[in-house]
């Protein structure tokens, strides 16, 4: 059965080209632009600050229209964003910047790099992020991102995954914008790669005791209601068409 909410798509399975797309939709598809719900961004920020209270600066390198950066701003002293395309977001610093290019090496002040990257190069975002961030990298992605042979070394190698935080409420990602009323069957998680200086001793000891590379910390039911703000939909929600004849007395 197809999930309700037209446009609910697993980003990994979204086609690069669809016949009939208008110019803007085609651009969103090419950029794999699936904005994160603000409450889900706050859930990531809250988790990072709980584990690493010294985290102060956050860099969002796929900032898009600012959904993620806006949510993270509640938890960090400074949040700045970059993106390969200029979406017109006030969170974007300077001209378009490809995070995968050497030009991004000049940003080396962020404690954490936190993002919902395009799916295909997400592993490279982690590898480069760990070189550029001072304390860690956090990736918002499908929970199934963990499940492939090609990423085994990423998750269990020299700088392994520290925390997987699965959402027990669905986070709805749609091409080109956020629909507050949307729904999806796709599960998502936060994946945290923490450098040794940021990793809490209790987490490090638990991983050593269990012989596991990472620890699971669930994002429980009720988080969406607790972390959603009334202004979220006003700032980022897709406009709804007015009912025909609305406000006309009949």
Considering the entire predicted model, what is its pTM? 0.86
Q: What percent of the chain has pLDDT over 90?
A: 63
- Segment 205-223, tens digit of pLDDT: 988 888 778 899 999 999 9
Nearest to 52 by CA among 174, 210, 217: 217
pLDDT of residue 176: 80
pLDDT of residue 16: 60
Mean pLDDT in the chain?
86
Band (57; pLDDT cuts 50, 70, 90): very high
Ramachandran area for residue 50 (φ above 0: left; ψ -120 to 50: alpha; else beta): alpha
Q: Residue 180 pLDDT > 60, yes or no?
A: yes
Q: E-strand spans in the chain?
A: 57-60, 78-81, 112-115, 136-142, 163-166, 188-194, 215-216
Lowest average pLDDT, out of 131-145, 211-225, 234-248, goes to 234-248
CB 168, CB 220: distance < 8 Å: yes
Measured over the CA atoms of residue 89, residue 92, residue 94 and residue 97, the dihedral's sign is negative
Q: How far is CA 13 from the centre of its chain?
A: 17
Q: Residue 2 pLDDT > 80, yes or no?
A: no
CB 78, CB 93: distance < 8 Å: no
Computed on alpha carbons and rounded to an integer, the radius of gyration of the chain in Å comes to 18
Q: Residue 63 pLDDT > 80, yes or no?
A: yes
Domain ranges of the chain: 34-229
Strands 78-81 and 57-60: parallel
What is the rounded average pLDDT of the residues 156-162? 90
- Report the alpha-carbon distance of residue 3 to residue 216 in Å, rounded: 27
Band (3; pLDDT cuts 50, 70, 90): very low
Q: Residue 14 pLDDT > 70, yes or no?
A: no
- Report the alpha-carbon distance of residue 221 to residue 39 in Å, rounded: 13
What is the rounded average pLDDT of the residues 30-53? 94
Band (23; pLDDT cuts 50, 70, 90): confident
What is the rounded average pLDDT of the residues 135-141? 98
- Segment 116-136, tens digit of pLDDT: 999 889 999 999 999 999 999
Q: Both tokens of residue 196?
A: 């040794």
- Report the alpha-carbon distance of residue 6 to residue 33 in Å, rounded: 16
The DSSP code sequence of 163-212 is EEEEBSS----BTTBB-TT---S--EEEEEEE-TTTS-HHHHHHHHHHT-
220: enclosing H helix or E strand: none
Nearest to 87 by CA among 58, 62, 109: 62
Q: Looking at domain 34-229, does it have CATH number 3.40.50.150?
A: yes
């Amino acid at each position: 059965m197809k999930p309700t909410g037209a446009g609910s798509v697993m980003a990994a399975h979204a086609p690069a080209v669809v016949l009939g797309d208008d110019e803007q939709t085609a651009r969103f598809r090419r950029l794999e632009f699936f904005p994160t719900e603000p409450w889900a961004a706050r859930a990531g920020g809250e988790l990072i600050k709980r584990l690493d209270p010294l985290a102060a600066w956050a860099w969002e390198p796929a900032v898009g229209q600012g959904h993620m950066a806006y949510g993270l701003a509640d938890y960090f002293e400074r949040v700045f964003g970059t993106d390969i395309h200029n979406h017109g977001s006030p969170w974007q610093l300077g001209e378009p910047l490809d995070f995968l290019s050497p030009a991004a090496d000049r940003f080396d002040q962020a404690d954490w790099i936190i993002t919902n990257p395009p799916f295909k190069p997400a592993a490279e975002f982690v590898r480069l992020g760990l070189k550029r961030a001072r304390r860690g990298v956090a990736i918002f992605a499908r929970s199934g991102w963990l499940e492939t042979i090609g990423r085994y070394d990423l998750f269990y190698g020299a700088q392994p995954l520290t925390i997987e935080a699965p959402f027990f409420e669905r986070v709805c990602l749609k091409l080109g914008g956020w629909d507050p009323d949307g729904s999806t069957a796709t599960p998502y998680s936060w994946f945290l790669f923490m450098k040794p200086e940021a990793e809490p001793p209790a987490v490090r000891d638990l991983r050593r005791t269990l012989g596991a590379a990472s620890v699971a910390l669930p994002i429980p039911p009720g988080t969406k209601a607790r972390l959603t703000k009334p202004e979220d939909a006003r700032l980022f929600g897709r406009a709804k068409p007015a009912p025909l004849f609305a406000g006309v007395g009949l």
